Amino acid sequence: MKFNQSTAEVFIPDGIPLEDALVRTTHLCIAAHQDDIEIMAASPILECFQSEEKWFTGVVVTDGRGSARTGIYEKYTDEEMRLVRFKEQRKAAIIGEYSAQIMLDYPSKVIKDGKDTSSVEDIISILKATNPDVVYTHNLADKHATHIGVAIKMINALRSLSKTEIPEKVLGCEVWRDLDWMRDTEKVILDTSSQSNLQAALLGVFDSQISGGKRYDLASMGRRLANATYFASHNVDNATGLSYAMDLTPLVENPDLDIKEYVKGFINRFSQDVENLISSVM
């Protein structure tokens, strides 16, 4: 595949031909940064792990050059940090037995530029080559601008496809803002109860972030446990780990839907639920 960034990379953990690795993909995750995939898409990674019928492919859109750094990484240049983060992402792909791991290597500023369509073109190429059943990306209420930029560009890419090329589901997942606030009936529930050892291993390879002062490994596993425990107030736990997602499929199936209004709908319905519950006990 040819991408707009000459430094883009495709890594195939089991070494099969590129076309075969992409074609077998059933679950595709398009994320902003190295480690975002492992934070937000643990459920599909587990679902595809050791499966002959289901295969997970990850896409990281940005280059990782702007990462915070301390400890042994404190004096690393931006380019050295980029190489470390690429190496860590390859390790995660090996541990999770991904079908493929693609790094598009864009600077974050390009992804936050709504007028730049180069990454959209790359994402369209990936979608056409993989034709996945389900696509995962960042939720549209995330508080990280680059995450929102990736989600918008992915939606634009999906909207350019023919109806026969559109995935069955498009889901926006939790990273920099969880989705506990959404109405339970609107949450897409992703079970992460199994193989906590594998989940920990996937998160743990990103040493540049963890040693750099951000315990994404503990925080992500803790969030999954908290989601499972606090999901239902009057029932015993049926899971030991849950992640939530926002259903973005309608935005793809109906390009006329306004993205901002669609997200505001979730917020407004949450607001009404809060009001209704307070009124019910006054």
Q: Identify the CATH number of the domain in which residue 124 sits.
A: 3.40.50.10320
Indicate the number of domains in the chain. 1
Closest CA to 259 of 272, 269, 246: 246
Is 267 among the domain residues? no
Q: Which domain holds residue 153?
A: 9-256
Question: Phi and psi dihedrals of 210, rounded to 5?
Answer: -70, -50
pLDDT for 167 equals 97
- Exposure b/e, 80-96, CB count within 10 A at least 16 = b: ebbebbbebbbbbbebb
pLDDT for 200 equals 97
Q: Which residues share a beta bridge with 171?
A: 136, 247
**Is residue 49 classed as helix, strand or coil in its secondary structure?**
coil
Is 156 among the domain residues? yes
Is 269 among the domain residues? no
Mean pLDDT by 10-residue block, N- to C-terminus, for the chain (282 residues)? 94 97 98 97 98 97 82 86 95 98 96 95 98 98 97 98 96 96 96 97 94 90 95 74 98 97 98 96 93
| Measured distance CA(92)–CA(227) in Å, rounded | 24
Burial class (CB within 10 angstroms; exposed 0-12, middle 13-18, buried 19+) of 32: buried
Please state whether the predicted TM-score (pTM) of the whole model is above 0.85.
yes
| Measured distance CA(222)–CA(218) in Å, rounded | 6
> Structure tokens of 130?
């993989």
pLDDT for 236 equals 60
Tell me whether strands 27-31 and 134-138 are parallel, antiparallel or unpaired. Answer: parallel
Is 193 among the domain residues? yes
Is 3 among the domain residues? no
Is 264 among the domain residues? no
Is 268 among the domain residues? no
pLDDT for 120 equals 97
